[in-house]
Amino acid sequence: MNALDDQVKRALVEQIVVSASEPEVRVLMLTGAGRAFCSGGDIRGMGQRTPAEMNQVLTYGRQITEGLSNLQKPVVAAVNGIASGAGFNLALACDLILAAPQAWFQQSFVKMGLMPDMGGTYLLAQSIGLHRAKDAVLNMRKFSAHEGKQLGFVAEVLEGQPFDDQAVAYCAALSQRAPLALGLTKFLTNRSVDGTLRDALDREGLAQGVLAATEDHKRAVNAFHSKEDLDAIEFTGN
């Protein structure tokens, strides 16, 4: 069921670092093998960890969430099935969530005498609102893919088959856009929830000035004036 055990968490942290350092990686997509996206933490190890071991588990979770948030590239969660507990929060840490029709989401922590981690208390409240998030967590609400779309945390429900092919095509289309513009847009949008309108305007002014001087922007302007297809532009990240 693709539980987030220590080995998987370490691998995710390493992959985020690798993705950040490779210019040819334009979009990072996370999905699960089989019928689950991620069933959450590894229950087999729960209740047996020392405080030091538990601290390491939480550190891995924090590194994943912060790594995905700080990655200057879009991160897409392709949720093909169950996204429960930490699996739900892993999806929320991504920039966009694609869901198969059979996917479902649940904050299942309290039944184990725990609370959401990996930023779940923050990410869910930012996504669906404070009181809805409290209801979802305290009552362990189970959301279908379409309910997630209605609430706003799912970007698209990909009907039809195969789901993986549709998700890859979605990411491929996203990867064709100007990488610097995508990265800065993500960065400033993430920061917007913690600041004021004035903060946002200041950051936008600085970032837009940088983007306006890029070759990608000039390429797009030239294509527009030449009446070329803007969707056909090959952006280089310069």
Q: What is the per-residue pLDDT for 196?
A: 84
Do residues 171 and 195 share a domain?
Answer: no
- pLDDT exceeding 70 applies to what percent of the chain? 100
124: pLDDT strictly greater than 80: yes
Q: What is the per-residue pLDDT for 231?
A: 87
Cβ atoms of residues 184 and 210 within 8 Å: yes
Q: What's the CA gap between 62 and 65, in Å, rounded?
A: 5
Tell me phi and psi for residue 17, to 5 degrees: -60, -45
What is the pTM (predicted TM-score) of this model? 0.92
Q: What is the per-residue pLDDT for 161?
A: 82
Do residues 137 and 153 share a domain?
Answer: yes
Q: What's the CA gap between 92 and 65, in Å, rounded?
A: 9
The region, left, alpha or beta by phi > 0 then psi within -120 to 50, assigned to residue 227 is: left
Has residue 237 been placed in a domain?
no
Q: What is the per-residue pLDDT for 193?
A: 87
Has residue 1 been placed in a domain?
no
pLDDT band at 57 (very low <50, low <70, confident <90, very high): confident
Do residues 112 and 211 share a domain?
Answer: no
Do residues 183 and 171 share a domain?
Answer: no
Q: Which contiguous run of DSSP H or E holds residue 104?
A: strand 104-106
Q: What residue numbers bound the domain in which 70 lies?
A: 6-175
Has residue 54 been placed in a domain?
yes
Cβ atoms of residues 105 and 77 within 8 Å: no
Q: How many domains does the chain have?
A: 2
Cβ atoms of residues 85 and 62 within 8 Å: no
Q: Which contiguous run of DSSP H or E holds residue 31?
A: strand 28-31
Cβ atoms of residues 70 and 94 within 8 Å: no
Has residue 215 been placed in a domain?
yes
pLDDT band at 91 (very low <50, low <70, confident <90, very high): very high
Residue whose token pair is 């966009």: 96
| 196-216 residue pLDDT tens | 889 888 888 988 888 899 999
Q: What is the per-residue pLDDT for 232?
A: 87
Q: What is the per-residue pLDDT for 82?
A: 97
46: pLDDT strictly greater than 90: no
| 23-44 residue pLDDT tens | 999 999 999 998 899 999 877 7
Q: What is the per-residue pLDDT for 150?
A: 98
State the CATH number of the domain containing residue 226. Answer: 1.10.12.10
Selected residue with higher pLDDT from 98 and 219: 98
